[in-house]
Amino acid sequence: MGWPRIAFRASLFLAMVAICIARKVPACFVFGDSLVDSGNNNYLVSLAKANYNPNGIDFGGPTGRFTNGRTVADILDEELGFEGYTPPYLAPTTVWPVIQEGVNYGSGASGILKSTGTMFGGRIYFGAQIDNFAGTRQEIISHIGEPAALELLGQSLFSVTIGSNDLINNYLLPVVSVVEQVLVSPEVFIDSMISSYMLQLTCCLQRLYDMGARKILVVNMGPIGCIPFERDTDSASGNSCADRPNQMARMFNVRLEDLVSQLRSTLQGSIIVYADVYRTVVDVIENYASYGFDNANSSCCSITGNHGGLLPCGPPSVVCSDRSKYIFWDSYHPSDAANSVIAKRLMDGGPDDIRPMNIRQLADL
């Protein structure tokens, strides 16, 4: 290898240690769906894109984020002291040395199941996102060596936010649900999905662990029956959240938390944190006025539907005058203001929001 190269790698390692001390979390690696996608789908042949107006209206313009401003992952970057946001894996600028501060692998329309989102075309399902991380890891090793890379990864935050599309774009999709829900009960579907998820998540988290991940955040499924799309497509919901989607989300979350507990005890030395975003979002919706919101059930960016949930946000949409007063930006996704509430509860919340510790406590370890 030669002394100059050893000295160079040592200097890089010391620099990263200094960053870690100042920031505590040296890098963030983000996995998930459109709730965290920072622009990966821009580089795919896909119908699931947000790289057009008025998306990003409070971000300086469209970036591929499915909201008016920042995602929860972006806000966590700010809270953890990063100067910029974790970049999308597929962006041509996401190369060394950028990747040493983390990479975002999230992809709109993706799911736990490989088949989820097929109707939208290109998307990167969870297992393929882990494959992409393996390539990133190898590139980091090639620049700083394996010991320094493992030190970096061991202190980094890995977050997983995925699963909603496996319900919304499968069992709950109006064009298929009429037949499928007669033939397959929610309990049977959830058992099938969670069984696949358990295998997939166990495999992926084991792979992340084997590749050096130690601090892992797993986010549960939010109250999908409360999004404008479900409110508008569920004839029984009226002005309330749709009951069946929320019931299925709760069933899923019970099984997911059990799985996280099992993995926490199996992957020695790992700290796997379970984020109860379902509870957090329900609290915000039920007590919206106390959080500064005026509207808890309709999309700010809307075209049609009683709650603006029937069509995606796009150039023909009408945008509300004050985005900070709406919990939902579009048919499916929270606004920047709502994401800010969620992120701060993940950073500093108690065990009702995130357990066994919050992200700030996790970062301090």
Active-site annotation holder among 107, 164, 270, 333 = 333
**Token pair recorded at residue 164:** 């909603």
Q: Is 307 a catalytic residue?
A: no
Strands 295-299 and 215-219: unpaired
Q: Are 255 and 229 in contact (CB under 8 A)?
A: no
Spatial separation of the C-alpha atoms in residues 260 and 318, rounded to whole Å: 41
Residue pair 79/88 in contact (Cβ under 8 Å)? The answer is no
Measured CA to CA, the distance from residue 15 to residue 20 in angstroms comes to 9
Q: Assess whether 333 carries a catalytic annotation.
A: yes
Whether the link from the prior residue into 186 is cis, omega within 30° of 0, is: no
Paired sense of beta strands 354-355 and 271-275, if any: antiparallel
One-letter amino acid at 307 equals H
User: What is the enclosing helix (H) or strand (E) of 107?
Assistant: none
The helix (H) or strand (E) run that includes residue 342 is helix 336-348
Candidate list 34, 159, 331, 340, residue with the active-site label = 34
Find tokens 């010391």 and name the residue: 14
Both tokens assigned to 310: 């029937």
Smallest CA-to-CA distance from 332 within 231, 235, 228 is with 228
State CA 35 to chain mean position distance.
5
**Nearest by Cα to 12 from 121, 116, 137, 146:** 146
User: Would residue 330 show up in a list of annotated catalytic residues for this protein?
Assistant: yes
Catalytic residue among 33, 37, 330, 353: 330
Q: What are phi and psi of 91, to 5 degrees?
A: -65, 135
Positions annotated as catalytic residues are 34, 330, 333
